[in-house]
Amino acid sequence: MQTWLLYALLTVLSWGVYGVILHAARSKMPMGAETPNASLKAFLFVCIAYALIGIVTALVLKARGTNWSFTGDTGSGIPLSLIAGMAGALGALTLVLALGAAATPIIKGGGGFGVAAAAAVMPIVFGGAPLVNTVTAMLLHRPEKSLPPQFIIGCVLAIVGTVLVAKYAPSNNPGTAAPHGPASAPAAAESKPH
């Protein structure tokens, strides 16, 4: 397997479990009066994790014998790297806020997905992000030829797929959930002694 593909697949794996783990983390934060802050408390530790990975990256650079220069023939990559980092961090922040809002009951203005919030939010994020990436790349590096119909069809299929996965994930539909999922909650409540 080529190195770039291995790293891409590792990214798919890590980002694929990211939303589920992040939502589980926010649900373990103090609730009650602190429920509105649960998402931000979880995000705080995401930021700490980013800092720890940054330290590891500095150690890898040192082990590789870097000269610590950040300016090349085409200028410094620092400003764009910082902007990219801010975009990534802002995305992580809005993701954790989306998970919190999706988990909130509909009666309180949320999505009503509860523990299944990640199943509703993540397909939208990971289905929509590649489309935004592609359009942004095309705006920065305009294609020399007209767009092939396969590309347009692929974009439409990505949008349709995103909607279908987010809307019809089994954990989002009580009638199709596993026995231990939301569908069994009323039955469990009825079985408790009064």
pLDDT tens for each residue of the chain, 194 residues long: 789 999 889 988 998 899 889 999 998 999 889 988 999 999 999 999 999 999 999 999 999 999 888 887 777 888 989 999 999 999 999 999 999 998 888 888 888 888 888 888 988 998 899 899 988 988 988 888 888 999 999 999 999 999 998 888 777 665 544 444 443 344 334 444 44
Looking up tokens 């489309």 gives: 131
DSSP state of 109: T
What pLDDT, on a 0 to 100 scale, did the predictor assign at position 70? 85
DSSP structure string for 42-62 = HHHHHHHHHHHHHHHHHHHHH
Q: Please state, in angstroms and rounded to a whole number, the distance separating the CA atoms of residues 172 and 124.
A: 14
CA-atom Rg of the chain in angstroms: 21
Q: Please state, in angstroms and rounded to a whole number, the distance separating the CA atoms of residues 22 and 2.
A: 30
Looking up tokens 């530790």 gives: 45
Domain extent listing, the chain: 7-64+80-178
Any residues with CB less than 8 A from the CB of 39 and at least 6 apart, and which? 26, 96, 97, 99, 100
Q: Please state, in angstroms and rounded to a whole number, the distance separating the CA atoms of residues 7 and 21.
A: 21
User: What's this model's pTM, rounded to 2 decimal places?
Assistant: 0.76
